[in-house]
Structure 1
């Protein structure tokens, strides 16, 4: 069974992009390292053959910073099977008025939101892995 691919948006210079990337890194490095891995969105967008091969036909989760859904759209166009889409902007609705930080540094509150999002993503990864076991 292959690992679930989790692809964050790039959102360079934007706090929501930073939060997206940090949440994915927490999942792939700490919470679910045996069942999840990340793929670089920039390589997918530019048509890198290796990146496309990693997502094509595979179970994917995307984490976008904003409503544009660049990650989700790009992964789908590359043949990835997007089973869940997360948006940091949606998470922020649960934390109205909170200063999460900047495009280069998160505040303590920003890290708390990242932790919450990472937990949600990790739980979804576990659910997807169980679904795959049942459907094999």
Structure 2
């Protein structure tokens, strides 16, 4: 799993928090996070490991920087999520501007996004196809 590196932005923080929820709770022991800057820098060991695993990218905004960086480095992505999409589905949870620490609505959005990502983790590990 590769979350956006949008440091200092609430939607990047929501995406990273969702990734942590997945790897530390929902799919503990079945998922991991890789470092996006290492991929951008061309770290061969990380890139080769990603090529041999299922890859989920989480972008903090519609610019899809993480998606394009990972796609360029490894050639394919198994699932892609954009943090702002979870807000479209939960308009009542407008995130606070605070990103450190995350506000209550941002935490709720992170949890909702994590649940969607976890569903995709389960599908990928079981070999099922589905929408991200």
TM-score by length of 2: 0.88
Q: How many residues matched?
A: 127
Q: Which has the higher strand share?
A: 1
Quick check: 1:106 aligned with 2:102? yes
Q: Does 1:82 align with 2:77?
A: yes
**Deviates further, 19-28 or 50-59:** 50-59
Mapped partners of 1:108, 1:40: distance in 2: 26
Partner of 1:118: 114
CA-CA distance at 1:41 after TM superposition:
0.5
User: Which structure 1 residue ranges, 5 or more long, are not aligned?
Assistant: 1-5
Q: Distance in 1 between matches of 2:18 and 2:88?
A: 17
Taking structure 1 as the reference length, what is the TM-score of the superposition? 0.85
Map 1:20-99; keep pairs closer than 5 Å.
Answer: 20-79=15-74, 81-96=76-91, 98-99=93-94
String of CA shifts for 1:91-128, please: whole Å, max 9, x gaps: 11123364423232211111111001001101100000
TM-superposed deviation, 1:57: 4.1
Q: 1:129 aligns with which of 121, 125, 129?
A: 125
